[in-house]
Amino acid sequence: RRYAAYDKHDLYRDYPKFRNCYTMCAKTRMLDTHTPHWGDSGKCMAMGTTGMTMPLQMMLRGYRVYGTPEVAREVWFSNGKKLDGIAGDIYDAEPQELLERVEGELNQQPGPFVSHNAGGYGQAALEAPSRKHPRGIAMYYGRTGGHGHEDRLAIDLLSNNVLMTPDMGYPLYTGHWPKRIGWTSHVISHNTCMVNDKGQDRSSFSGKTKLFADAGPVRVADVDGGKVYPDVSTYRRCLVMVDVDDVNSYLLDLFWVRGGTNHRLIQNGGGPEVETTGLTLTAQEGGTYAGKDVEFGEFYDGPSNWDYDGTGFMYLKDVEKSGPAERFAVDWKMLETWRTMPQDWEAHLRVHNLSPVDEVALCTGVPPEYKGAPERLRYMLRTRYGSGLNTQFVSVLEPYATEPFITSVRSLGTLSSDSDFGAAVEVVLADGRRDVILIRENEGKLEAGGLEMDGRVGFCRFEADRPVAQVLIEGTALRAGEVELRLPASAVRGKLAGWDDGNVENTLLKLDTALPESTLAGEYIIFDNAERSDASYLIESVVDAHTVGIGSNSLVERFVDENDYGKGFIYTIAEGDSFIIPLSASWERQE
């Protein structure tokens, strides 16, 4: 509590960034129910109802100080999404008044889910709007040291009330526990890409956002993973989420890697068994993915301590392999290990592969043996070999309940060079509609499937070869027959002229470029900054032609000297940093 008679020091007043301690949990959640288990957190496939929360009494103290709807909502989450039992304390003249204030803040019904990017934390979450049929995917690009894992650019897909691409969560034992070192914390157990059969460099502080946007039935997150591997110039993942209807969505998953001699895209699913199409697999007799003579858990390529920098392959068993392949699919039937769903519940994840690989392997991994965790999960590893590799892994992820909603998926062409990747993909839906998605690493022209684009991301949905919906993101033109979407510019670009953080409720960014008359509130401004953290911020308001507000977000990165606060702060962005605000447009045929 504050003591009004003493005003020399005030934690809340003197350190405005402290305010975000009371709202930070919201930035880690997906779909208001789940905080992904990045690093040493949670248990494999475990889901709650609130995601990460802070202690209730702490949140009540924060609400007394700040009194905002955002903090009131976190009070509600901390109390298990209910208001029963919330009251003031013996020092309040009217203890019930606090509950009445919180109730007043929460009086309105929540709106549709909205995708959000937490740059300081390092998590991009794409969420379909439906609250009746929640579904979304998160990609992690934050810290990997300490209690973190080698999980840069890993994904966590939540659909049909189950975690479909589960992280391992907290290790069974900490310290120099061999399985923690060679499996649970190692890149090999995570849904990301391994390069040169090594673990990721944990000293890399954060990835950086390249694109984050939401328009119509399409939303996209494109993140550069940073320097997690030496001699690798590109380590980047782009996710495009497309809504089919109010119930279903699919994802186009592109992983771009330049450099190295082998690239392994690691993919698991929330179940121990899979069905495949388009693959001819041969079972290996005994052993592990490290070889038929290497036993499960046997450290064959390094010490079983924190100096280990090997493959982790000895923790993958029941190995089946295929030679070169390109167009195939793997379907996981999900487990519901925590037994909270009805008896007839069923869910699947089908992964459609659309890019050439030199080897496909299916293996079994064993999560930490906590009560309720799955006993085993099936993994797929797709590998490319070569010298100075440029790899674009192209996949479509189809989460469904009992019947697939996709009839076919095919590649309509790709781009792959030292400076640009790109892909064109056709998805035919079970009801006969046909989607075409065009995407490029850098803005430019691309044409396929009856669709022409000048931009980064283009989408068109056809019914009987007639366009019925289009989306253009960071582009100037998208055309299908006589239907054309145009934007006067693909993005607002410029440099940071300065900022004003005097109002803790709304940090203002001063830009050297005049802003368009169209509203930018709800879009993201993305800086090309030199500091270690990502610098992408949601624009909450447009103040004038050169000023945007980013709400209570703090620009403070850290102290200049943590032993001498008087030396001030280092900031995440600096005057002169370049920025981009991607623009988008969507169209839907009205009958």
Q: Is residue 167 part of a domain?
A: yes
Q: What gap in Å lies between CA 523 and CA 474, rounded to an integer?
A: 12
What's the burial of 282, exposed, middle or buried (CB within 10 Å: 0-12/13-18/19+)?
exposed
Structural domains of the chain, count: 4
The Cα–Cα gap between 269 and 349 comes to 7
Domain annotation covers residue 111: no
For residue 314, what are its two tokens? 């000895």
Q: Are residues 483 and 424 in the same domain?
A: yes
The half-sphere exposure of 245 on its side-chain side, counting CA atoms within 13 A, is 8
Q: 247 with 158, same domain? A: yes
Choose the final residue of a domain: 105, 132, 160: 105
The average pLDDT across 303-324 equals 96
- Given a cut of 90, is residue 427 above it in pLDDT? yes
Confirm if 412 and 435 have CB atoms less than 8 A apart: no
Residue at 2 is within a domain? no
Assess whether pLDDT exceeds 90 at residue 178.
yes
Pull the structure tokens for residue 514: 């005049």
Confidence of residue 571 (pLDDT cuts 50, 70, 90): very high
Specify which residues 570 forms β-bridges with.
558
Task: Report the CATH number at residue 571.
Answer: 2.40.30
At residue 208, what is the residue type?
Answer: K
Do 559 and 464 share a domain, yes or no? Answer: no
What three-state secondary structure class fits 221?
strand
Together in a domain, 384 and 420: no
Rounded alpha-carbon distances, angstroms, from residue 306 to 147, 151, 315: 13, 16, 16
Residue 225 lies in a domain: yes
pLDDT of 156 > 90? The answer is yes
Q: What is the mean pLDDT of residues 531-544?
A: 97
CB atoms within 10 A of CB 505: 12
Domain of 66?
Answer: 11-105
Mapping DSSP onto H, E and C, the string for 467-504 reads EEEEEEEEEEEEEECCEEEECCCCEEEEEEEEEECCCC
Do 483 and 574 sit in the same domain of this protein? Answer: no
Residue 96 above 90 pLDDT?
no
Same domain, yes or no, for 291 and 418?
A: no
Terminal alpha carbon distance of the chain: 60
CATH number at residue 328: 2.70.98.70
Nearest to residue 287, comparing CAs of 315, 264, 266? 315
Beta bridge partners of 255: 237, 393
- Model confidence at 1: pLDDT above 70: no
pLDDT band at 517 (very low <50, low <70, confident <90, very high): confident
Answer yes or no: do 411 and 283 share one domain: no
In this structure, are 431 and 397 located in the same domain?
Answer: no
Q: Which residue has the higher pLDDT, 371 or 353?
A: 353
Q: Is 3 a domain residue?
A: no
126 and 241 Cβ atoms separated by less than 8 Å: yes
Sign of CA dihedral 435, 441, 447, 452: positive
Across the chain, mean pLDDT equals 95
Residues 129 and 261 in one domain: yes
- State whether 554 and 567 are in the same domain: yes
What integer is the mean pLDDT of 257-274? 97
Q: CB-side exposure of 407: number of CA atoms within 13 Å?
A: 9
On whether residue 4 sits in a domain, the answer given is no
What are the tokens at 555?
């620009």
Examine the pLDDT at 16 and tell me if it is beyond 80: no
Residue 152 within any structural domain of the chain: yes
Specify the DSSP class assigned to residue 34: B
Q: Are residues 314 and 264 in the same domain?
A: yes
Write down the pLDDT at residue 339: 66
| Judgement on whether residues 498 and 479 belong to the same structural domain of the protein | no
Cα–Cα separations (whole angstroms), residue 580 to 209, 233, 391, 492, 577: 11, 22, 27, 6, 10
Encoding tokens for residue 70? 């955002």
Which of 37, 71, 105 lies at the terminal end of a domain, its last residue? 105
Query: Tens digits of per-residue pLDDT, 228-237?
Result: 999 999 999 9
Q: Is the dihedral of CA 28, 33, 36, 40 positive or negative?
A: positive
- Tell me whether residue 410 is in a domain: yes
Which of 85, 105, 125 finishes a domain? Answer: 105
